[in-house]
Amino acid sequence: MTAGFAILSAFVCFMYIVNINQFICLTVHDKKISRPCWLLGGAAVLLTLADPFFSLDQIFEISGVALTYILIFLLILITHSKHKFRSFYIAILYFALDSAISASCLLVKKAIGISGGSDMSIKLIVLVLCIIAHVFIQYLKKTRRDEIREIVKILPRKVYALLMLYIFMLGILCSFIAAAPAQDSAYFSAFSVMFVITVFLSLLVTLNTLINSASRYYFENMSALLNDQIEIQLNHYIEADKYANDIRAFRHDYKNHMICLQDLISSHSDEDALEYLSSIIENSAANEVLTTSGNKTADAIIRYKKNIAEQNHCEIRFSGVISDSISPYQICTILSNALDNSIEACQKLGSQHSDISINCTLVNNIQLIVIKNPAIAEKYKGQTSKSDKVNHGFGLYNIQRAVSMLDGRMSIPQRYPDFILEIEFQIPVAEK
């Protein structure tokens, strides 16, 4: 009995280490457990294996369990040193959730009248749950990894705090009720079953709330992006109307300008004529440099963002060609988010004038867009540095999503001293 329990405990400890590590890797792009860290894991497993043989000494048993958990936490924190807080949070959350579900299963066992082998049955239930959790995590890594990583980024910290408090209190409540002496009564059995059903329903409601919360933030951002697109289009039409009016005004005054020049030249006032001609050129609407990329939506976005950039001591310089076959929504998503990030980076430089360059190349139906802006010396970790992180944490995610819809790729080959964003995708060929 003791040997079987020890083996089960060792397997459970091993599954704890594997599942927590996989759970962390599901939420962040991080390395796997290194060989030195596996030594800590091996020590934890061996300690768990030996613990049942010395369970007669209660102090030693408690110390052994505590030391096992300390070794597991050390392994996780060393392995994921770049994400210590998140790793610690996930480990605690996993243990609390495991405690609540295990206690609920034990409560069901008591309710249906199964007795004997309590410790062995609990450990077996925990092992089965660990295996189920492992399979579920692997499924999520293959099918929902990117979505989960973005949900983790956009949820506010208060949601994580409330989730931890809820799971922790639920685990304590389930453990207390499961530890109560079993009673041979229909009331106790009915209460136990209803309590367990309530626990699982509350977990489902919590999961659904998290998904809805993430969806709300996502659609709020999408709505803001669409409003931005509408504003860009409206500004484009206003600028186009202004430009057309300037052209009409110039054409209206053209004859008068020619008469004045003719009079100055006839009177041999060459210097005055040249000065007058220069003033005409300087005030001419044709003197305004317009962006002509080949894509009307892109032109409108770049012109709109140019005005914002000038207010923040930076200038947007465009060169190249953008295909007109790209969806307006997708090109708006890519350029708007990329230029917003670039302008924000320039704002951090203060009053120093800086340039944002957009270089676009179209070769053999392959569109390449390279956006470069100066960056301050700080450690970029893929998170937004804007003050409103909840509403502005979608920039690169929105770009990545739009590029993925075009079966392309997005990369960041350099972050300092210039932040460079490269986007490449194939232009869809129209069906004949």
What number of helices (H) and strands (E) belong to the chain?
13, 5
| CATH superfamily ID and name for 293-426 | Histidine kinase-like ATPase, C-terminal domain (3.30.565.10)
Give just the sign of the alpha carbon dihedral 111, 114, 116, 117. Answer: negative
Whether the CA torsion 78, 80, 83, 87 is positive or negative: it is negative
Q: What pLDDT is stored for residue 357 in this prediction? A: 94
Write down the pLDDT at residue 269: 77
Show the DSSP H helices in 316-374 as ranges.
Answer: 328-347
Strand partners, 360: 320, 369
CA distances from 195 to 59, 127, 198, 206 (A): 33, 23, 5, 16
Per-residue pLDDT tens digits for 278-315: 777 666 554 455 667 888 888 888 888 888 888 888 88
Task: Return the minimum-mean-pLDDT range out of 112-121, 211-220, 320-329, 355-364.
Answer: 112-121
On the question of pLDDT at 62 being above 70, the answer is no
First-to-last C-alpha distance (Å) of the chain: 75
DSSP-derived secondary structure for 71-135:
HHHHHHHHHTGGGHHHHHHHHHHHHHHHHHHHHHHHHHHHHTT--S-HHHHHHHHHHHHHHHHHH
Give the residue carrying structure tokens 């008591």.
110
Q: Is the pLDDT of residue 356 over 90?
A: yes
Q: What is the pLDDT of residue 271?
A: 81
431 secondary structure, DSSP code? P
Closest to 373 (Cα-Cα) out of 311, 328, 314 = 314
The conformational region for residue 117 under phi > 0 = left, psi -120 to 50 = alpha, else beta, is left
Query: Structural domain boundaries of the chain?
Result: 2-182, 293-426
pLDDT in tens, 381-401: 444 444 444 444 467 878 888
User: pTM for this structure?
Assistant: 0.55
Length reported for the chain? 432
What confidence tens digit (pLDDT) does each residue in 197-251 have?
887 788 788 777 777 776 776 676 667 767 776 776 667 666 666 666 666 766 7
